[in-house]
């Protein structure tokens, strides 16, 4: 897990790579990779790669990056983990490839030499890399199927720069800081910036599951090689009847297989533990996969001690059942106040979440961990969110009135003009947006509604951003090809929007700020294709298969506990903090019944726009 | 290397030439002016169309200009320029008529944003891809209409004269940035270093003096070029270099105002207006100068910077606009904040202190590099547009013909 950077001066008039700029970009990410750094430049000075290293596999110097192939024709700078690198290595060795290191990085070089760009289909893991092919005179950028690892690029028409973080690209001081209205509007609508946009016009995210070629004419169109919607559709098309017991066995084996793959490392792998099924079951499976020593960590708050919101006692019970070395880390209001400026600083793009991951990652790093397993992705895979129930319900109820042209807009207008003090803005949009999966999902997850944007941002920015983002079309595009089953549709939307742009991004910046690699066994393309087969058949809306998968069962308390949603006292701490009170200036936000997330979003946007 | 190979695009032969109809692709170019025209845009179009005509997959290029100052007798092989039509409606009808009667047209090139709607309309009628060129001022000065925006968005590829223009364009239209490329201006080979020509030393009584020069039109529209700013600080420069002449080349309705300004700042004796200069004399004017300065704020690219660098003299430009491109972010000339008198004055003083000439510094902007890029883009363009039904048809047509 590391930080990567690169500059390619592709256009004929562009200046050669500025080494100082590349070093500034790279070293802005020092905390992503504190164990080492490296750089590489092509002979003509038109291409440069940088790398910051967090050593996890092959701790020796030979694993340093950027890594050049023996013949000097291929160079790679890579962030992530390839969990099946040993299998890939064996098959490449059988074909005659000679390896110099024990790293997964070297596998990338040989696999590319063998298969070219199609190599991405063989990789199981989380990755973002830049690969220079000297023979083709072209740069290949690629990102893992789910978009666990970030990859941003800025193309000014002469030079293309890429890095693991937006702020790193800016640190080189040659990338334009012109704002991107679509990015800001996206943040206000969703609470996170939807890819491929960022809050800067020139900087784009390489979409999850995509590759991008850059040659002497510049960037080509990005090419998608993996789609969650497509995986569900394929499973639907090819699903064969499965007996109950086989299905159960299949589920357990698939989960265990994913966890086993995610334990590959030359350093100890710990785990985040909450009171939920996801993290508990993963710890159980880690044991089943043969890991004897497991360090687990839970975050607790003094305010919640003794209340039903306190996760610590149940987490401790799970830990003792699986015999882990368990630590409960108590976070206080004072610590939060001290960390807040650092949190804003580390936040790569504006987001309304990530605070919990910040503290649990901090705790894990204090315990000396470099790698931790997280239960992220369980809700998307097993239908853990209320949206799995509510969105299809809403679509069924409103499909017919939603089709009457103008009715939605009319009711919305009537309500927002006359009844805005009594009716929730989302309720006002119900008829307008309730009728299709994309729009009902938007309504469910939306932070602000499009017609509310003018209260929190400049009217021109709002108009321009809405036009460019086109939120409903943006969501619909992710749902193509459309699975027929309602469970799969919601799963696609949750995984391609909320999980990708919010959960995974937040996990990345908040954990990397503490030089901690977080691994997510429930976010895995192989696991998905196995479960897609099962869920398309039965539309499972239960975490039972996950809960039942460890050989030593989870405590019944964990399984029977109603889903509460993760609560923290952070909200009330922020309400009290006199540094986060700008929202009071905006009447719409100062209103008594305004949701806290909206105020926080405004707070974050003012803080990050100022930075 | 063909880009088609790089991307391994399905349906396109690795060797680009194998899918071309024997006669090659036919391009209809709608331009304000090209052959026989004057000014930067005309030159750009000439460079571009000549390069395009030499592309291996292009058969012939039909050029339809709106204006043409001089009649043109000989054109490069593969290029045919039709008679100009100045009236807007006449031009549009003529364009449509040409498009229909000169079938088969495979690509429409549009050389100016003002014609983008017309070009996009023709592309829609013919069902062929659009290649749009943008220069600068047309993007900066006004808000695009919704129709113009959609026309730009419908283009398969947009080439922009500088990074700055590209960024401004991407700010107002929602087009995939990978479809917007930068294709810089080129500089003519007649601009090269040389001694100060005697006839100009005499004409401007410049013997033994240092010459500071700006070249541009002087229309009211071109006020952003920054003559005012140079005149404003000239007093300060003269204190250290009393023998300096500020030579303003070019003419237009803004000239009387600048003359008055020079009087107002008590530097009238040191400011000379050369008026309009013939293209033949212009290279000599650059050789006469020691320092070329144009602290512009709205430059699309600034071809004069290239001409100055080609003659090896010191160059100073603004850092807020397309001027950054010819000066290569300061590698080939000095960039200053055009709004800062301080920065401008100290940059000019430094240049006057040491006006040593260099070799031709415009090497990267020679026509060969430009031609190569157009050729590479052309492959890219064909590959890209394979997504569209239009080019599928073109390719099928090519294959049947082959």
pLDDT, one tens digit per residue, over A92-146 is 999 999 999 999 999 999 999 999 999 999 999 999 999 999 999 999 999 999 9
pLDDT digits (tens, 9 = 90+) for A49-87: 999 999 998 888 888 999 999 999 999 999 999 999 999
pLDDT of residue A537: 66
Q: Considering the entire predicted model, what is its pTM?
A: 0.92
Distance from CA of A161 to the nearest CA of B (A): 14
Cβ within 8 Å of residue A227, ≥6 positions away: A209, A481
At A140 the three-state DSSP class reads strand
Q: Provide residues of A within 8 Å CB-CB of chain B.
A: 11-15, 116-117, 136-138, 155-158, 174, 176, 178, 182, 201-202, 204, 213, 215-223, 467-468
Beta-bridged to residue A351, according to DSSP, are A192
Instruction: Say if the Cβ atoms of B178 and A218 lie within 8 Å.
Output: yes
pLDDT tops 50 at residue A241: no
A437-445 helix and A471-478 helix, angle to the nearest 10 degrees: 120
Beta pairing partners, B211: B245
pLDDT of residue B24: 80
Structure tokens at A384: 């853990």
| Strand boundaries in A147-287, DSSP class E | 152-155, 159-163, 203-205, 210-215, 218-219, 223-224, 269-272
**H/E element, B181:** strand B180-182
pLDDT value for A584: 85
Band of pLDDT at residue A244, cut at 50, 70 and 90: very low
Residue A482 gets which letter from DSSP? P
**Whole-angstrom Cα distance, residue B298 to residue B322?**
7
CATH topology of domain A229-382+498-567: Rossmann fold (3.40.50)
Residue B43 has what pLDDT? 86
CA distances to A93, A485, A513, B225, B255 from B221, rounded to whole Å, are 68, 61, 51, 9, 12
DSSP string, A418-454: HSTTTS-HHHHTHHHHTTSHHHHHHHHH-SS-GGGHH
Annotated domain spans of chain A: 2-225, 229-382+498-567, 387-488
Query: What are chain B's domains?
Result: 3-186+366-401 (3.40.50.2000), 198-363 (3.40.50.2000)
Contact A217 B166 (CB under 8 A): no
Q: What is the mean pLDDT of chain A?
A: 90
Distance between CA A207 and CA A196 in Å, rounded? 6
pLDDT band at A583; cut points 50, 70, 90: confident
Using a 10 angstrom Cβ sphere, with 0-12 exposed, 13-18 middle and 19 or more buried, the burial of residue B77 is exposed
pLDDT of residue A416: 66
Q: What is the percentage of chain A residues whose pLDDT exceeds 70?
A: 92
Sequence-distant (6+) residues with CB within 8 A of A468 are A181, A182, A185, B174
Q: What is the 3-state secondary structure (H, E, C) of B325-372?
A: CCCHHHCCCEEECCCCHHHHHHHHHHHHHCCCCCCCCCHHHCHHHHHH
- Separation of alpha carbons A193 and A152, rounded Å: 13
pLDDT at B67 over 80: yes
Handedness of CA A473, A479, A485, A490 (dihedral sign): negative
Decide which of A519 and A303 is more confident. Answer: A519
Burial environment of residue B176 by CB neighbours within 10 A (0 to 12, 13 to 18, 19 or more) = middle
State the pLDDT confidence band at B392, using cuts at 50, 70 and 90.
Answer: very low
Q: Which of B135, B136, B182, B302 to mutate to test the interface with A (most CBs of A within 10 A)?
A: B182
pLDDT score of A196 more than 80: yes
E strands along A197-324, which residues? 203-205, 210-215, 218-219, 223-224, 269-272, 295-301
Higher pLDDT, B385 or B106: B106
* Separation of first and last alpha carbons in chain A: 27
In the sheet that holds A295-301, the strands lie side by side as: A325-331, A295-301, A269-272, A371-373, A517-519
Q: How confident is the model at residue A168 (pLDDT cuts 50, 70, 90)?
A: very high
CA distance A563 to A545: 16
Q: Which of A295-299, A344-348, B370-374 has the lowest mean pLDDT?
A: B370-374
pLDDT tens-digit series, residues A374-400: 999 999 999 889 899 999 988 888 877
Residues of A in contact with B365 (CB under 8 A): 13
Nearest by Cα to A472 from A447, A511, A443: A443
Q: What is the ipTM of this complex?
A: 0.90
Check: CB of residue B16 under 8 Å from CB of residue B395: no
Integer Cα distance of A156 and A25 in angstroms: 16
Contact A136 B6 (CB under 8 A): yes
Q: Which helix (H) or strand (E) holds A238?
A: helix A228-238
In a mutational test of the A interface, the residue from B1, B6, B324, B375 whose CB has the highest number of chain A CBs within 10 Å is: B6
* Interface contact B239, partner A, CB < 8 A: no
- Model confidence at B96: pLDDT above 70: yes
Pairing of strands A295-301, B314-318: unpaired
Which range, of A106-110, A364-368, A518-522, A597-601, averages the lowest pLDDT? A597-601
How many Cα atoms within 13 Å fall on the side-chain side of residue A235? 27
What residue spans of A36-103 are helical by DSSP H? 85-94
* DSSP code at position B320: S
Average pLDDT, chain B: 86
Of B324, B376, B341, B308, the closest CA to residue B159 belongs to: B376
3-state secondary structure of A138: strand
CB A521 within 8 A of CB A381: no
pLDDT at B264: 96
Please, which pLDDT band fits residue A570 given cuts at 50, 70 and 90? Answer: confident
Which tens digit of pLDDT belongs to each residue from A409-430? 777 777 666 665 656 666 666 6
Interface size A-B, in CB pairs within 8 Å, comes to: 82
CB burial string A555-588: b at 16+ within 10 A, e below: beebbeeeeeeeebbbeebbeeeeebeebeebeb
Distance in angstroms (rounded) separating the CA atoms of residues A281 and A303? 27
Q: Which of A3-7, B80-84, B133-137, B261-265 has the lowest mean pLDDT?
A: B133-137
Is B176 near chain A, with CB under 8 Å?
yes
- Alpha-helix runs per DSSP H in B27-110: 40-53, 88-101
CB contact under 8 Å between A116 and B8, yes or no, is: yes
Strand A152-155 with A159-163, pairing:
antiparallel
| Residue (of B210, B110, B196, B197) closest to B160 by Cα position | B110
B15: pLDDT confidence band, cut at 50, 70 and 90?
A: very low
**pLDDT range class, residue A541, cuts 50, 70, 90:** low
Residue A89 Cα to chain centre, angstroms: 28
CATH number of A2-225: 1.10.10.10, 3.60.20.10, 3.40.950.10, 3.40.228.10? 3.60.20.10
pLDDT band per the 50, 70, 90 thresholds, residue B223? confident
Q: A162, A172 in Cβ contact below 8 A? A: no
pLDDT tens sequence across B304-363: 999 999 999 999 999 999 999 999 999 999 999 999 999 999 999 999 999 899 999 999
Q: How confident is the model at residue A595 (pLDDT cuts 50, 70, 90)?
A: confident
**Contacts with B174 from chain A: Cβ below 8 Å:** 182, 467-468
Spatial neighbors of A556 by CB under 8 A, at least 6 apart, are none
CA distance linking residue A376 with residue B227, whole number of Å: 62
Say how far apart CA A531 and CA B9 lie, in whole Å.
32
Mean pLDDT, range A272-284, rounded to an integer: 94
Half-sphere exposure of B402 (CA within 13 A, CB side): 14
In this complex, which of A136, A217, A222 lies closest to B181 when CB atoms are compared?
A217
Given this model, what pLDDT does residue B401 score?
Answer: 46
Place B228 in a pLDDT band, splitting at 50, 70 and 90: very high
Chain CA centroid to CA B223, Å: 19
- Taking an 8 Å cut-off on Cβ atoms, the answer to whether B328 and A213 are in contact is no
Q: Do B3 and A217 touch (CB under 8 A)?
A: yes
What DSSP element (H or E) covers B393? Answer: helix B389-401
Mutate which of B7, B161, B301, B375 to disrupt the A interface (most A C-beta within 10 Å)? B7
Helices assigned H by DSSP within B1-39: 3-7
Q: Are β-strands B314-318 and A47-53 bridged in parallel, bridged antiparallel, or unpaired?
A: unpaired
Q: For the segment A487-540, what is each residue's pLDDT rounded down to a tens digit?
A: 999 999 999 999 999 999 999 999 999 999 999 999 999 999 888 877 766 656
Most confident of A246-260, A364-378, A477-491, B77-91: A364-378
Nearest to A122 by CA among A226, A271, A214: A226
Q: pLDDT value at position A61?
A: 87
């Amino acid at each position: 897990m590391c930080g990567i950077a690169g500059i390619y001066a592709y256009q004929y008039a562009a200046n050669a790579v500025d080494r100082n700029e590349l070093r500034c970009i790279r070293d802005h990410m020092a905390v992503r990779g504190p164990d080492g750094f490296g750089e590489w430049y092509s002979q003509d000075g038109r291409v440069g790669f940088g790398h910051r290293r967090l050593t996890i596999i092959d701790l020796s110097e030979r694993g340093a990056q950027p890594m050049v192939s023996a013949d000097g024709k291929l160079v790679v700078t890579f962030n992530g983990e390839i969990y099946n690198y040993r299998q890939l290595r064996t098959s490449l060795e059988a074909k005659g490839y000679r390896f110099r290191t024990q790293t997964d990085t070297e596998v990338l070089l040989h696999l590319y030499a063998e298969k070219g760009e199609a190599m991405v289909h063989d990789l199981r893991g989380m990755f973002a890399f830049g690969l220079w092919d000297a023979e083709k005179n072209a740069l290949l950028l690629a990102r893992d199927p789910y978009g666990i690892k970030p990859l941003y690029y800025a193309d000014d028409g002469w030079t293309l720069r890429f890095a693991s973080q937006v702020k790193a690209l800016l640190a080189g001081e040659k990338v334009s800081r012109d704002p991107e209205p679509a990015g800001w509007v996206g943040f206000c609508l969703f609470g996170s910036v939807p890819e491929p946009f960022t809050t800067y016009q020139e900087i784009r995210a390489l979409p999850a599951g995509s590759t991008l070629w850059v040659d002497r004419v510049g960037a080509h169109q990005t090419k998608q090689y993996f789609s969650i919607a497509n995986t569900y559709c394929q499973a639907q098309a090819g699903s064969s009847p499965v007996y109950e017991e086989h299905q159960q066995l299949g589920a357990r084996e698939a989960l265990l297989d994913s966890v086993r793959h995610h334990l590959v490392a030359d350093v100890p792998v710990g785990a985040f533990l909450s009171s939920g099924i996801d993290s508990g079951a993963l710890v159980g499976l880690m044991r089943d996969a043969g890991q004897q020593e497991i360090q687990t960590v839970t975050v607790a708050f003094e305010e919640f001690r003794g209340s039903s919101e306190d996760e610590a006692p149940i987490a401790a019970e799970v830990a003792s059942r699986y015999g882990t070395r368990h630590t409960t880390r108590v976070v206080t209001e004072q610590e939060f106040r001290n960390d807040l400026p650092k949190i804003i600083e580390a936040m790569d793009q504006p987001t309304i979440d990530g605070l919990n991951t910040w503290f649990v990652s901090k705790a894990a790093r204090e315990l000396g961990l470099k790698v931790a397993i997280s239960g992220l992705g369980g809700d998307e895979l097993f239908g853990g969110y209320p949206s799995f129930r509510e969105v299809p319900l809403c679509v069924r109820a409103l499909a017919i009135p939603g089709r009457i042209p103008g009715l939605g807009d009319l009711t919305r207008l009537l309500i927002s003009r006359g009844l805005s003090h009594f009716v929730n803005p989302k309720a006002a949009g119900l008829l307008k947006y309730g009728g299709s999966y994309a729009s009902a999902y938007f309504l469910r997850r939306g932070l602000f509604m499009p017609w509310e944007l003018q209260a929190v941002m400049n009217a021109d920015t709002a108009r321009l951003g809405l036009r460019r983002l086109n939120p409903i079309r943006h969501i619909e595009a992710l749902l193509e090809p459309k699975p027929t089953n309602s469970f799969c549709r919601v799963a696609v939307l949750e995984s391609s929007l909320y999980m990708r742009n919010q959960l995974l991004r937040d996990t990345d910046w908040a954990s990397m700020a503490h030089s901690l690699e977080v691994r997510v066994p429930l976010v895995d393309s192989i696991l998905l294709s196995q479960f897609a087969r099962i869920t398309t058949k039965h539309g499972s809306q239960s975490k039972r298969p996950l809960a039942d998968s460890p050989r030593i069962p989870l405590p019944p308390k964990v399984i029977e506990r109603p889903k509460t949603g993760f609560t923290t006292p952070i909200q009330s701490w922020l309400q009290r903090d006199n540094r986060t009170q700008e929202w009071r200036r905006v009447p719409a936000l100062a209103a008594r019944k305004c949701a806290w997330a909206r105020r926080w979003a405004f707070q974050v946007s003012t803080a990050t726009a100022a930075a | 290397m063909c880009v088609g190979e790089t991307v391994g695009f399905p349906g396109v032969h690795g060797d680009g030439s194998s899918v071309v109809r024997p006669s090659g692709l036919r391009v209809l170019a709608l331009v304000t002016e090209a052959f026989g025209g004057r000014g930067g845009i005309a030159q750009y179009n000439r460079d571009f169309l000549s390069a395009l005509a030499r592309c291996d997959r292009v058969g012939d290029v039909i050029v339809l200009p709106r204006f043409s100052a001089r009649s043109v007798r000989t054109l490069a092989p593969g290029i045919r320029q039709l008679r100009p039509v100045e009236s807007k409606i006449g031009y549009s009808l003529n364009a449509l008529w040409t498009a229909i009667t000169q079938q088969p047209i495979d690509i429409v090139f549009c050389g100016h944003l003002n014609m983008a709607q017309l070009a996009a309309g023709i592309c829609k009628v013919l069902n062929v891809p659009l290649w749009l060129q943008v220069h600068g001022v047309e993007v900066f000065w006004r808000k695009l209409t919704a129709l113009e925006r959609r026309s730009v968005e419908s283009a398969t590829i947009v080439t922009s004269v500088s990074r700055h223009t590209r960024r401004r364009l991407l700010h107002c239209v929602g087009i995939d940035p990978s479809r917007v490329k930068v294709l810089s201006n080129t500089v003519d080979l007649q601009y090269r270093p040389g001694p100060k020509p005697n006839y100009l030393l005499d004409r401007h009584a410049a013997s033994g003096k240092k010459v500071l020069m700006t070249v541009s039109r002087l229309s009211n529209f071109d006020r952003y070029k920054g003559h005012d700013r140079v005149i404003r600080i000239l007093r300060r420069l003269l204190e250290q270099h009393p023998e300096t002449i500020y030579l303003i080349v070019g003419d237009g309705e803004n000239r009387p105002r600048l003359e008055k300004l020079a009087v107002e700042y008590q530097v009238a004796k040191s400011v000379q207006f050369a008026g309009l200069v013939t293209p033949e004399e212009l290279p000599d004017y650059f050789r006469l100068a020691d320092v070329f300065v144009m602290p512009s704020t709205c430059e699309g690219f600034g071809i004069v910077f290239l001409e100055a660098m080609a003659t090896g003299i010191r160059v100073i430009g603004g850092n807020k606009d397309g001027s950054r491109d010819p000066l290569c972010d300061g590698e080939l000339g000095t960039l200053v904040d055009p709004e800062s008198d301080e920065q401008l004055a100290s940059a000019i003083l430094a240049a006057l202190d040491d006006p040593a000439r260099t070799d031709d510094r415009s090497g990267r902007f020679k026509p060969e590099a430009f031609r190569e890029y157009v050729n590479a883009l052309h492959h890219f363009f064909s590959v890209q547009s394979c997504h569209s039904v239009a080019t599928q048809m073109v390719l099928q047509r090519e294959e049947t013909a082959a």
